[in-house]
Amino acid sequence: MRQTYKLNEMKTIVSILLLASLAVQAAAREPMIDRAHMKCLYRYVYAFDTLKNELRDDLLILQIGKEVSKCYSYYTFQCDSLRRTPDGAKVWSELFRRATEKDGIYGDFPHVRMSTYVYKNYPTGQMTITDRISSQGYRYVDSLHTQTWIMGDSTREVLGYICQQATADFRSRHWTAWFATDIPVSDGPWKLGGLPGLIFEAYDEGQQHVFTAVGLERVEDEPIIFNQKDGHNRRFEPTNRLDFLRMERRFLMDSNSFIQMETGIDLLGDEPNRVMRYDLLERDY
């Protein structure tokens, strides 16, 4: 029998169940664009600092509906949901204070990881992307399933499913994906998809970005919500993909200037700005 729900920590499972109830409550405030019949969880490991070989990880949730899917970070959603509550900012600040005293700035508290929300086939035949740079949220429309996959002969087992290999060049990265035709859903983590089966694992050449399925379950009419506001409860500013990527790159090259412009606080003082520690997931800017 295949294991349909496999996660490393029980507390994560409990948290996801709690978030599911939050999503149902949010349906009263945000539009429901579909109902999910399946949910896949991915561990996302990514290079945070290529100069120091520092990796970080995330947990992505892919809700799969009849027409639309939604992929987002569990941790970012947790943080956004907390901030939208009446005392969210106060609670977050207290959690941040406790975590930094105990474990440093990336301790056990709700903090944003991957900030991208991907809504596939919304609108029909396209994707809607919401993302953020510093505290400003943005929204843009992207093309759906533009990867041109080349099928391979290799197979491997992921989460109890036999997966076939496929490769593609997508926005200046060479991707390898492993998909299972036993789950005939043309979807996958992040913006990846377009194969005759669900993608269970995908990574770029050099493995700076690795998505691996860690859980798959059937769900019954779970609402897929389109979040119209960012984690600060503000409307997203419309833009286009390339403009967003170029802004994001400028932020990574000189984040201090962005923060200083928003808050008036100079974090570096007389110190030189740090170099860009990693490149963007999409490099065709």
Task: Map out the domains of the chain as residue ranges.
Answer: 10-263
Q: What is the mean pLDDT of each run of 10 residues along the chain (285 residues)?
A: 41 47 54 98 92 89 98 89 71 71 59 91 98 93 98 97 99 98 98 99 97 97 93 90 95 68 51 64 95
Residue 81 is predicted with a pLDDT of 76
Residue 78 is predicted with a pLDDT of 83
User: Of 155, 169, 147, 148, whose CA–CA distance to 201 is shortest?
Assistant: 155
Instruction: Please state the pTM of the whole predicted model.
Output: 0.83
Strands (E) located in the chain: 32-49, 54-65, 69-73, 117-120, 126-133, 136-143, 150-158, 161-170, 173-180, 198-204, 209-225, 237-238
Residue 233 is predicted with a pLDDT of 79
Cα–Cα distance, 272 to 224 (Å, whole number): 44
Residue 3 is predicted with a pLDDT of 39
Overall residue count recorded for the chain in this entry = 285
Strands 126-133 and 209-225: unpaired
Strands 54-65 and 32-49: antiparallel
Residue 276 is predicted with a pLDDT of 60
Number of Cβ within 10 Å of residue 269's Cβ equals: 6
Residue 103 is predicted with a pLDDT of 59
